[in-house]
Structure 1
Amino acid sequence: MTYKGYLIDLDGTIYRGSEPIPAGKRFVEALQARQLPFLFVTNNTTRTPETVADRLKNEFDIHVGPETVYTATLATIDYMRAHGGTSFYAIGETGLIDLLLEAGFVWEETTPDYVVVGLDNQVTYEKFVTATLAIQKGATFIGTNPDKNIPTERGLLPGAGALVSFVATATQVEPIFIGKPEAVIMEAAVAKIGLKKDEVLMVGDNYLTDIRAGIDNGLDTLLVLTGFTPKAEVPELPVAPTFVLDSLDEWRFES
């Protein structure tokens, strides 16, 4: 099968924390050389697309534009615009809060229309309190993504999903998840790349998010064993990925 476009994860696929994955860089450069469209689809909401592109350039020598980055923040904004409401409270960082404000939503801590919970490296108990009380008063509870962990050079650290679980436990309210593997972000990403689902391959390291995002939404999948999902788990996966590789260097674009 020869694919016309690629949706690609970042953390654990192109890099691991601050550690480069050299095969990831070579994979992107091979796509560019073949003029194949690609979109980085990431559950990370701590950075804007511009910041992600700058980081890829400055830290990993991967040269792409911000238009190639589609974050769970952008998908969250699209969801909120489609469902009405103007105010929000968020647990998150610049890549989430600043973009929500720039999109025209208004910060409100007491009675917001939405409470959005993403990854926040400076999270405090008081932030959880504010989110919990707002949801109890009727705010719609959004989790940017369900990732329980994020792969880094230090190991698997708590992800946004862990913070969302804290609020879900405190409120007894289940969140609306936006990021992978949910249809919200995948339908938008496929529309953005401008191809049909059967023409696109989803590439990632995390079976629970990246690969399930493809499987659950009708895309072929490539699981690369450089991040979250270990090789030992592959035989026991409930639905097999279309492809499993130890390294993206093993991928053959023409078949």
Structure 2
Amino acid sequence: MTRIASASLLSPPDIPTAEPPWALRSRGLILDLDGTLVRGHEVIPGARELLARWSGRYVVVSNNSTDTAAGLAPRLQALGLPVRADALVLAGEQALRHIARNHPRARLLLCGSDTLRTCAASLGLELVSRNADIVLLARDVAFSYATLQAIAHQLARGAALMVSNGDLTHPGPQGSLVPETGALLQAVLACAPGIRPPRILGKPAAMLFEEGLRRLELPAEDVTVIGDNARTDALGAVRLGMAYLLVGESPYADAPDMARLLQAALPRRRALPADVAGGAADQ
């Protein structure tokens, strides 16, 4: 694994050189993607500037369960976001890698994109339509009644259920909402009562964040998570001892977008909102 190498870039002329308090306390960043850097094909204000200023010192950790890092990186670069594939940690791809490491001989029923199916085959996983040991549920825009029926049947006969992420939606362009894996999970659970609880691998669970820390080669206390969701980005950060900041339009947000966050004289946060489990002190 190639380490995310440090790099020094001069700030563009229109970016203030003075760092806000949250940046001075951070050696590296773990960044969310949808709703934080982009909304669909729209780049959120300040995203390019933040990536330039923190070049070589960030990892994007996303509950994206459609793409692989190798496929998504060029599309982000085409939007002007210089994100390398080795700086992308994506829930769907990482779920497949987890299964390949820990259950290499498992028969896998995969509900997901063609991209993830290709990735699974490249990892040597056996994809099946019946007699599955594991069902992996990811975001599948072709999800159908037949898919739901097949998954429910495999779970009823004892297959374990793993889920790339539990998000119901993610932010799309112009304020739209894009249905996510968690919405499909609700349909599956309604048709499969009494099964073993599913294992959800994406944020706020630790797996993706731990991979981000591994790539940064930094301890948790030196890293700040920036996202848009208190129940995934903030909660996952606090559980692992990382500070966080939130952007967006939610009542929990520290700034409406990255442009405002870059100018905000804010401390990093360690206390979660009152209605989100956990908490500690600001720093």
Give me the CA root mean square deviation. 2.0
TM-aligned CA deviation for residue 82 of structure 1: 4.3
Aligned residue in 2 for 1:195: 218
TM-aligned CA deviation for residue 7 of structure 1: 0.8
Aligned residue in 1 for 2:82: 63
Change in Cα spacing, 1:188 to 1:253, as seen in structure 2 (3 Å) is farther
Counterpart Cα distance in 2 of 1:95 and 1:14: 22
- Structure (1 or 2) with the larger CA radius of gyration: 2
Is the aligned partner of 1:122 residue 2:132? no
TM-aligned CA deviation for residue 251 of structure 1: 2.6
Q: What TM-score does the superposition give when structure 2 sets the normalisation length?
A: 0.78
Aligned residue in 1 for 2:255: 245
Counterpart Cα distance in 1 of 2:161 and 2:113: 17
Is the aligned partner of 1:161 residue 2:185? no
C-alpha contact (below 8 Å) 1:168/1:175 kept by paired residues: no
> Would you tell me which structure has more strand in proportion to its own residues?
1
AA aligned opposite 1:65: R
Gaps of 5+ in 2: 1-23, 268-283
> Among 104, 126, 129, which residue is 1:106 paired with?
126
Secondary structure of residue in 2 paired with 1:47: coil
The farther-off stretch of 125-134 and 243-252 is 243-252
C-alpha contact (below 8 Å) 2:100/2:125 kept by paired residues: no
C-alpha contact (below 8 Å) 1:245/1:251 kept by paired residues: no
Report the number of matched residues: 238
> Among 167, 187, 191, which residue is 1:170 paired with?
191
% identical aligned pairs: 24
TM-aligned CA deviation for residue 253 of structure 1: 10
C-alpha contact (below 8 Å) 1:75/1:188 kept by paired residues: no
Aligned residue in 2 for 1:6: 29
Counterpart Cα distance in 2 of 1:161 and 1:42: 14
> Among 84, 91, 95, which residue is 1:72 paired with?
91
C-alpha contact (below 8 Å) 2:92/2:116 kept by paired residues: yes
Secondary structure of residue in 1 paired with 2:254: strand
Gaps of 5+ in 1: 235-242
Q: What TM-score does the superposition give when structure 1 sets the normalisation length?
A: 0.86
C-alpha contact (below 8 Å) 1:48/1:94 kept by paired residues: no
Deviation string for 1:112-160 (max 9, x for gaps)? 1210111111111111111111111111101100111111025112111
Counterpart Cα distance in 1 of 2:84 and 2:223: 20
Secondary structure of residue in 2 paired with 1:7: strand
Is the aligned partner of 1:183 residue 2:206? yes
